[in-house]
Amino acid sequence: MIKRTLEQIQNMVMGHGLKAKDKNISINGVSIDTRTIKKNQLFIPIKGERFNGHKFIQSAIDNGAIASLWCESEPKPDVDIPLIFVKNTVDAIQRLSKKYRNQLSTKIIGITGSNGKTSTKDILSSILKTKYKTHKTYGNLNNHLGVPLTLLSMDEDTEMAVIEMGMSSLGEIEVLTNIATPDAAIITNIGEAHLQDLKSKENIIKAKLEIVKGLKRDGLFVYNGDDPRLSSAVDQLNLKQKTRTFGENSSNDYVLKAISIDYKGLSFEIPSQMSPTLFLPMLGSHQIYNATAAIAVAKHFGISFGSIKEGLKNVNLTKMRSELIHGDGFDILNDSYNANPPSTKAALDTIYPLNNYKQKIVVFGDMLELGDQEIHMHEEIGDIIDLDKIDYFFTIGTLAKYAAKKAQTKTDKNIILSFTNKNKLVESIKDVLKDNSLILLKGSRGLALEEVAEALLNKKN
């Protein structure tokens, strides 16, 4: 993590007001959260629409803060702690992280896309670790604050860093990529996420492609070549950087081929790169795409297929992303961090072939931020779900009920139930749950379906 004197920090953020006696005090990391701040860290209070971190300065001090940035427009606090004054603390943390990043020799890989960002991040970091000291985005810290915090948490001798970049509107990824200035960038795919704000797939492509605006001139850009609209948009950019594509189509640079898929994981090859058979202990054929994107970057940085095989075996997945949880006589596949039509279809396709389970239950929650097509998109899930390959279809939320209504038109069986109350949902699952069952949880983050998982794991009966 960043370790600098307060004088250095003041210069990096273009601040002022530091007293001469405090200039040589050193900070050991930064924090924007008084609840998790550690001893000798720099507190950076963030002001938002509904909160103001400046109000918690005393709590920051009590929990170990050694100094703080301070917005010029806020009343000066009566505290015995060094303060560095800035016009805007959000701008300051972004400026600080960019300066810190530029002082290091770390190679940065930026990842964006509608689906698969986090899984690709986890896979790539695991592969890179076989050769380099590697850092990655923790959890889902991928926004205008998360990316700076991720960069500032890097040790100075970090050789590789895999940085996830998220967005909800145009211009956001451009900010992030210009802070991180990646040496390589990946777009995993383009889906319907964020249609509510961006209105069209073309705008989503435009927003995701902002990642190349900060890409170094000698950098590598890897993207899904199976998407014709994305490929066309990339061609129009006339990029000077090296580009590599991945996908099933033979025109791609990294052509993937599935060999076998079961409950233990995925075996696949990349014939265009003369790869050996590779094994990934993850569920879902879509993960082969994520792995292939990661491999394209790994090969660029000199990782052998022998090391790639080792890295794939030891992937440490972020929670709630295709996370397989073992309960008492049943398993939960928790894929509930986000949801949109493509990721929901991928989750369903993941469980269909898992014949080692005697019972399969799907719990489907609302897919949010889909704009004026949201009802139709939920009905589409009800239309495409294969009721012959599952035993029960439960929905939770006011939108997911449209999927249930559509699915009900395809069967006379009493296997479809809709809920708006989680407690009633959990009790109904418990009523039908058998030994050796698999429960898929899929829905947007706002549904907090991890609470369903916790309730089921805590007490089956």
**pLDDT tens readout for residues 97-116:** 999 999 999 999 999 998 88
3-state secondary structure 144-193: CCHHHHHHHCCCCCCCEEEEECCCCCCCHHHHHHHHHCCCEEEECCCCCC
Dihedral sign, Cα of residue 293, residue 295, residue 296, residue 301: positive
Q: Among 49-63, 154-168, 193-207, 218-232, where is mean pLDDT lowest? A: 193-207
Q: Please check whether residues 288 and 196 belong to one and the same domain.
A: yes
Say which CATH number the domain at 43 has.
Answer: 3.40.1390.10
Structure letter (DSSP) for residue 354:
-
Specify whether 184 is located in the same domain as 271.
yes
Is the per-residue pLDDT at 196 higher than 70?
A: no
pLDDT of residue 261: 87
Q: Could you tell me the pLDDT band of residue 461, with boundaries at 50, 70 and 90?
A: very low
Domain edge (last residue) among 313, 339, 357: 313
- Full domain range(s) for residue 146: 104-313
Q: Is the pLDDT of residue 459 over 70?
A: no
Mean pLDDT of the chain: 93
CA distance linking residue 7 with residue 156, whole number of Å: 19
pLDDT digits (tens, 9 = 90+) for 112-165: 998 889 999 999 999 999 999 999 999 778 999 999 999 999 999 999 999 999
pLDDT confidence bin for 168, thresholds 50/70/90: confident
My answer on whether 153 and 297 are in the same domain is yes
Tell whether 94 is covered by a domain. no
For 273, which DSSP code? G
Confidence grade of residue 316 (pLDDT, cut at 50, 70, 90): confident
Number of domains observed in the structure of the chain: 3
Decide the pairing of beta strands 330-334 and 323-326.
antiparallel
DSSP codes, 65-87: --EEEEETTSPPP--SS-EEEES
pTM of the model: 0.85
Q: State yes or no: pLDDT of 195 exceeds 70.
A: no
Can you tell me the distance from the alpha carbon of 163 to that of 180, in angstroms, rounded to the nearest whole number? 8
Q: What is the CATH number of the domain that holds 439?
A: 3.90.190.20
**What average pLDDT does the segment 20-26 reach?**
96
Are residues 121 and 256 both part of a single domain? Answer: yes
Average pLDDT over residues 372-378: 92
Residue 460 pLDDT > 50: no
| Helix, strand or coil, per DSSP, at residue 23 | coil
Residue 95 included in any domain: no
DSSP category for residue 292: H
- 25 and 48, same domain (yes or no): yes
265 within some domain: yes
Do 22 and 109 lie in one domain? The reply is no
Domain match, 286 and 354 both: no
HSE value, Cβ hemisphere, 13 Å, CA-based, for 87: 4
